[in-house]
Amino acid sequence: MRLVAWNCNGALHRKFEALLALEPDIAVISECADPEVLGRKCSLPAFSAPPVWTGGNRNRGLAVFFFNESRGCVHGRFRTDLQWVAPVEVHAPRRFNLLAVLAHTFGLRKAEPGPVNEALAFYRQFLTGEDAVLAGDFNHNVIWDKRGWAGNHRDTVDALDGCGLVSAYHAVTGEPQGEEGMATIYWRDRRKDGPTYHIDYIFIPRTWAARPFDLRVESFENWVGEGLSDHVPLVLDIPNG
Per-residue pLDDT of 90-141, as tens digits, reads 999 999 999 999 997 555 445 445 778 889 999 999 999 999 999 999 999 9
Distance CA 182, CA 75 (A): 33
- Residue 202 confidence (pLDDT) above 80: yes
- Which amino acid does the sequence have at 161? D
Name the band, by pLDDT with cuts 50, 70 and 90, for residue 56. Answer: confident
Give dist(CA 47, CA 70) in Å, integer: 9
Query: d(Cα 46, Cα 28) in Å, to the nearest integer?
Result: 16
| Residues found in the chain | 241
CA distance 119 to 87: 10
pLDDT tops 90 at residue 190: no
**What's the average model confidence in pLDDT over 140-165?**
93
The pLDDT of residue 111: 47
Contacts of range 102-110, beta carbons closer than 8 Å, 24 or more positions apart: 102/7, 102/30, 102/31, 102/55, 102/61, 102/62, 102/136, 102/137, 103/136, 103/137, 103/138, 103/139, 103/140, 104/139, 105/139, 105/151, 108/151, 109/151, 110/144, 110/146, 110/149, 110/151, 110/152
Task: State the pLDDT at residue 113.
Answer: 52
pLDDT > 90? residue 35? yes
Residue pair 74/95 in contact by the 8 Å Cβ criterion: no
- pLDDT-derived band at 225, boundaries 50, 70, 90: very high
Q: Residue 51 above 80 pLDDT?
A: yes
Kindly report whether the global pTM for this prediction surpasses the value 0.85.
Answer: yes
The mean predicted confidence, pLDDT, of the chain is 94
> Mean per-residue pLDDT for 204-229?
97
CA distance 114 to 129: 24
Which positions ≥6 away from 191 have C-beta within 8 Å? none
What average pLDDT does this structure show over 137-151? Answer: 91
Question: Which ranges of the chain does DSSP label H, i.e. alpha helix?
Answer: 16-21, 35-39, 115-122, 124-128, 153-162, 168-173, 206-209, 220-223
214 SS3 class:
strand
Q: Decide which of 71 and 190 is more confident.
A: 71
As a whole number, mean pLDDT of residues 68-84 equals 92
pLDDT of residue 105: 58
Q: Which residue ranges form the domains of the chain, and what is each CATH number?
A: 2-237 (3.60.10.10)
Cβ pair 84, 57 in contact under 8 A: no
